[in-house]
Structures are given as C-alpha cells and as structure tokens.
Amino acid sequence: MKNNSIAVIGAGKWGQALHFALSQKQKVLITSRTKKEIENFVDLKTALECKYLIIAIPAQEIRNWLKENFVFNGQKILVASKGIEASSGKFLNEIYADFVPKKNIGFISGPSFATEVKQGLPCALVINSSSEKLFEQFSPFFPNFIKTYYSSDVIGAEVAGAYKNVLAIASGICEGLNLGKNAQASLIARGLVEMERFGKFFGAKKSTFLGLSGAGDLFLTANSTMSRNYRVGLGLASNKNIEDILKELGEVAEGIKTAEAIYNLSLQHNVYTPIANEVKHILDGKNPKDSLKDLLKH
Ligand SMILES: NC(=O)c1ccc[n+]([C@@H]2O[C@H](COP(=O)([O-])OP(=O)(O)OC[C@H]3O[C@@H](n4cnc5c(N)ncnc54)[C@H](O)[C@@H]3O)[C@@H](O)[C@H]2O)c1
Ligand SMILES: O=P(O)(O)OC[C@H](O)CO
C-alpha cells in the first residue's frame, strides 16, 4: 500500500465532484462499476490497494457492495453517502462496523451540492469520526476552496445528513403546492426540531443539528431545485408517480428510502416524527393535501 495513495470509489455525481476537488492537490484514482472516461480511472482492485479511500455509492447499495467487493487491509476510509438502510433500519456506521474498525473510518457531512464543488466554489464540510487522527490525515487532501471541520458525533452527522433528504422532499412538495414561504419556513424549522429529536434518541449531540451537518445541509437542500430530493417533492406535488419522477431524475434521491427507514425506526422506538411520516405516506400514495391537513391538526 503506497503512502498517501488515495482513491474515490463510485463515479456518480458526488464521487466525481470529490475526485475533482481532491485532485487539485495530488493524484487521486477513481473507480466505478462501469468504466468512465475520467482521468486516473482505474479498476476496483487497484483502487482498493490505496491507503485512503472515499466511498460515494448510494446508502441502500453499501451492504451488498461491501459484502461482494470489499477487502479490508488497513485502509482509512471516508464515507460520502447520506442515508439510512431501509431494509434493516441500520445507520451506515453500523453497516461499515462489520467490515472496518471504528478508528479507520469517518463520515463526510455538511452542505455540498456536487455541481458547485465541481466548479471549485467555496464550501465547508465536516469529517465525523471517533478518531481525530483520521480527520488530521484526510483534511490535508482537501483543496483550499473547501474548509474541513472535525466532529466526533458520527451518529448526529449521519442522522442529519439522512434526515434532511426526507425534509427536502417535504419542502419540494410545499413549494409545488404553492403553500407559501411562511409554510415552507415553518416546515423547515419544525423539520430541524424533528431531526434533532430523532437523533437525540440515538445518542446524537444537539449542537450537531445547529451546525453545518444539520441546519447547514437542511437549509441548502430544502431550498433549492439543485437538490434531487427537493425535485422529487416537486414531482409528487404535481401528482407524478414515483417511477416517472425517478426516471426523469436519473440519479439517486436518498430521501425516498430514508423516509421508509425513519418511519419504521420511529414506530419501533416510539419517536415522534410527523413530517417524515407524512413523506413516507405520500410516497405510498397519500394525497399531499391530506398530509397537509394532518400536519396542521392541533
Ligand atoms: N450529489 C451530491 O450533491 C451529493 C452531495 C453529498 C452527498 N451525496 C451522497 O452521495 C451518495 C452518492 O450520490 P451521487 O450524487 O453520487 O449519486 P449518483 O446517482 O450520481 O451516483 C451514484 C453512483 O453509485 C454507483 N452505484 C450505484 N449502485 C451501486 C452498486 N450496487 N455498487 C457500486 N456502485 C453503485 C453508480 O454507478 C453511480 O456511480 C448519496 O448517498 C448522496 O446522498 C451526494
Ligand atoms: O441533491 P440531493 O438532494 O441528494 O442533496 C445533495 C447533498 O446532500 C447536499 O448537501
């Protein structure tokens, strides 16, 4: 394993943006299931031989991908995905724990549209890990237009990054139904309270929800058509079915499966998650206007 060798696994929108950003300072390899015309594209075996890995594949695919492809040989890993596994209700750090020791893994969070990162626009990200050393090792790889912060609140960052995708769907629905800016601000603010309540149940710190990982990423995603999840919400508000919305999108919208995961976890643990629950019901076919009535009930 060569010192400082680094690879991105997953060449979707976020994987390519991170590859672009980190390539400003050193050579960075990249790999994906299908070969792509990107500089320094390599096969998976070569990528797995690197000392540092950034894994940017959708949350629902991670367990199988790890089972089928991953061999741990001491690599340091940054997980770039945001979501909760719907089939099990497991957080990504729990899934990775079966394959990678805790001190070798970190999770990226914070407001970061791939399109803007790929243009070299400034942004701030958090590297969340039980090991501050891991943060210190990864941080120098990032270019000068990305500021990195450290947090040990892995579960807080994970809940925030996953939950905001569900709230972005809700916010897109709000916009699509022309409910007004008062309604949208109320939804986002109550959404923040809701995600903090949910996170607290699983041991997250309140401060995480007030910073980049929580409010930062929520305000970004729930206010912009650059968000895939927000666009899913717009589609649902105009009565499109989810298959057509996804076909049009052509990329992953993690909030769909994460809504299901949060719904099931909230039932199991009796945590109050009204907005996420309504998103789940709308995805299952409930009329968004009926959801609105239910959310407004005293
Ligand atoms: N796009 C963004 O702005 C952004 C920013 C931050 C975090 N994220 C997160 O990063 C993750 C990836 O998002 P994206 O924007 O790159 O999505 P994308 O749809 O653009 O790309 C997903 C990539 O994963 C690969 N993939 C899918 N299934 C796979 C499997 N079974 N095995 C291996 N590879 C597989 C696809 O080939 C594709 O390269 C998501 O969890 C997303 O929430 C995205
Ligand atoms: O396009 P979205 O909705 O997947 O959001 C992308 C990022 O998570 C924003 O930080």
State pLDDT tens for residues 48-85.
999 999 999 999 999 999 999 999 999 999 999 999 99
In the residue annotation, 27 being an active-site residue is answered as no
Please write the tens of the pLDDT for every residue from 180-195. Answer: 999 999 999 999 999 9
Strand 105-109 relative to strand 123-128, pairing = antiparallel
Predicted pLDDT of residue 298? 79
Predicted pLDDT of residue 2? 79
- Binding-site residues for NAD(+), in ranges, read 10-15, 114, 228
Q: What is the pTM of this model?
A: 0.98
Predicted pLDDT of residue 182? 98
76 touches ligand 2 (CB under 6 Å): no
User: What was the ipTM of the complex prediction?
Assistant: 0.98
Confidence at 147, pLDDT banded by 50, 70, 90: very high
175 touches ligand 2 (CB under 6 Å): no
Kind and range of the H or E run holding 109: strand 105-109
Ligand 1 centroid distance, CA of 180 (Å)? 32
Residues 222 and 42: their CA atoms lie apart, in Å, by 35
Please write the tens of the pLDDT for every residue from 223-270. Answer: 999 999 999 999 999 999 999 999 999 999 999 999 999 999 999 999
Ligand 1 centroid distance, CA of 218 (Å)? 19
Q: In what order do the strands lie in the sheet with 123-128?
A: 29-31, 6-9, 52-55, 76-79, 105-109, 123-128, 146-151
Predicted pLDDT of residue 123? 98
Predicted pLDDT of residue 12? 97
Residues 168 and 282: their CA atoms lie apart, in Å, by 14
Ligand 2 centroid distance, CA of 225 (Å)? 10
| % of the chain with per-residue pLDDT over 70 | 100
Amino acid letter, residue 29: L
Confidence at 4, pLDDT banded by 50, 70, 90: confident
108 touches ligand 1 (CB under 6 Å): no
Predicted pLDDT of residue 1? 77
pLDDT surpassing 90 at residue 3: no
Let me know: does 233 contact 175? Beta carbons within 8 Å.
Answer: yes
Please write the tens of the pLDDT for every residue from 95-109. Answer: 999 999 999 999 999
Please write the tens of the pLDDT for every residue from 285-295. Answer: 999 999 999 99
From 76, 164, 257, 280, the catalytic residue: 164
113 touches ligand 2 (CB under 6 Å): yes
